[in-house]
Amino acid sequence: MEYLLFGLIAYLLGSIPSALIVGKLGYRIDIRQHGSGNMGATNTFRTLGFKAGSIVTIADILKGTIATLIPLLFLADAEMSRLVIGLFAVIGHTYPIFAKFKGGKSVATSGGIILGINPLLFLIIITSFLLTLYISKYVSLASMITGVVAVIASIILNEVGLIIVTSLLAAFILYRHIDNIKRIKNKTEPKISWM
């Protein structure tokens, strides 16, 4: 019963539309009507700028992190369950009940799960993301490569739970970026200009 409750809380937490809230409260803009229309940090950076994008990124990361920490308050042995419960935050971010089930691509929230479980692995993936972004200028490519790096690092760390969950997250992130992959191939994917 606890797991269902934690999963529901994590889903609702993930469903909080950070980009929509920041856009409407801070800029009187519905982020869904600008740029790619995506309700994630990348579109916020492009549409509203660095400050708004940074706020949304941090908020989306925290959704995943908080979801993994909630079970610690009630369960003694909660390592695997924390990872599974964290996945509900990703589902909430991607299909938010508070925003007509149309959310972001869950890269930041996925990173938040990893931060809550293994800060060392989080440091590895942040480094991978920033390095790939610096070289390629593609946020989407950096996101996908970082997903693969997370799986490889989990295997090296030999943590079964992390291997399973990072594999699921990486596969989901790749799926969510199918259109981006096509645009990268066609050389029509937008590049960042601030890094």
pLDDT single digits (tens) 8-62: 999 999 999 999 999 999 899 999 998 888 888 889 988 898 899 999 999 999 9
CB 46 within 8 A of CB 58: no
φ and ψ of 89, to 5 deg: -65, -40
pLDDT band at 108 (very low <50, low <70, confident <90, very high): very high
Write down the pLDDT at residue 96.
95
Sign of CA dihedral 19, 49, 35, 94: negative
Q: Could you tell me the residue ranges of all domains in the chain? A: 2-185
Helices (H), the chain: 2-14, 18-27, 41-48, 50-69, 79-94, 107-117, 119-136, 139-157, 160-176, 178-185
Averaged pLDDT for residues 105-110: 94
Cα–Cα dist 193/181, whole Å = 20
pLDDT single digits (tens) 126-181: 999 999 999 999 999 999 999 999 999 999 999 899 999 999 999 999 999 999 99
| C-alpha of 138 from chain center | 16
Where on the phi/psi map is residue 190: left (φ > 0), alpha (ψ -120 to 50), or beta? beta
